[in-house]
Amino acid sequence: ITVTQITENIPSLIFVYQQRNADIKTIKTESVNFLPPIIFSAGFLLKRQLFYDNFGVVFVMAFFGTCVSAAVISVGLFYMINYTSILYHVGKFSLMECIAFGFIISSTDPVTTLSVFTSLKVDPSLYYAVLGESILNDAVAITGFRVAVRFIQNDLSSTDVMFCMPNFVVIVVASTVIGYVFGIVLAFLFKHVDFEFNRIIPVSIFLGVVYIPFLLAEVLQLSGILAMFFAGISARRYIYK
């Protein structure tokens, strides 16, 4: 966990505390900026066979690794805040509020790490394991965050936790479908439309296809990162097919 991650997510922790009795639709925010093109590029340049060969490792790291990370952060934060509240008489956070924050901060974005891996020419299996984990853990973090927020709102019983896995599957499948469809659209346009008369139009189309599925997935409370990753994969597959 970097200092940047912690400082960026402190407002979310404060918001959870302030809105614990409010109707919370979503708290998770994404920095749009240059993230969609970066993830699209990672999917477009992906060596698919290496990625699929390491999918077992990716799934274990993304699912169990994210859950363990969220558990360690939330439990440590819970006891630290309670200890601080006794010393300085400040407000307390419930365990579920700390778990919500733990899942927010456990969704990592290893762009810098991957760029270092590229420059060092590390083993491809390591590169794709880290890349795949960073893509898939976004869906795990969204699911865990939603469950924690519903517990905060007293809208979820302990028996309903069994629906966490179907929720995770829905996020993964829906995000993948959105990205794949937009990737096919991009491939179709670039293969069958003549852009010689105007060089600005293909740039505009590319930017639209890069940002629209990301924003659409985020609005639907899915994973924009996962959508962009598979948009890049499908675009590469059908552009050169």
pLDDT tens profile 118-138: 888 888 888 888 888 888 888
pLDDT for the residue numbered 156: 57
Q: Both tokens of residue 182?
A: 């937009």
Identify the residue whose tokens are 């293909």.
202
Q: What is the largest CA-CA distance in the chain?
A: 70
Cβ 108 vs Cβ 124: under 8 Å:
no
pLDDT for the residue numbered 161: 61
Distance CA 127, CA 97 (A): 33
Q: What is the pLDDT of residues 94-114, one digit of tens each?
A: 888 888 889 888 877 767 777
> Which band of pLDDT confidence, cut at 50, 70 and 90, is reported for residue 16?
very low
Distance CA 222, CA 176 (A): 10
- The alpha-helical segments, DSSP class H, found in the chain are 3-18, 35-44, 48-53, 55-60, 66-88, 95-106, 111-120, 124-152, 164-192, 200-219, 224-239
**Looking at the predicted structure, is the pLDDT value of residue 36 above 60?**
yes
Distance CA 76, CA 102 (A): 10
Q: How many Cβ atoms from other residues are within 10 Å of residue 36's Cβ?
A: 24
Q: What is the pLDDT of residues 138-154, one digit of tens each?
A: 888 888 887 788 777 66
pLDDT for the residue numbered 154: 67
Average pLDDT over residues 2-16: 44
**Looking at the predicted structure, is the pLDDT value of residue 35 above 70?**
yes
**What mean pLDDT value characterizes the chain?**
77
3-state secondary structure 110-168: CHHHHHHHHHHCCCHHHHHHHHHHHHHHHHHHHHHHHHHHHHHCCCCCHHHHHHHHHHH
**Looking at the predicted structure, is the pLDDT value of residue 229 above 70?**
yes
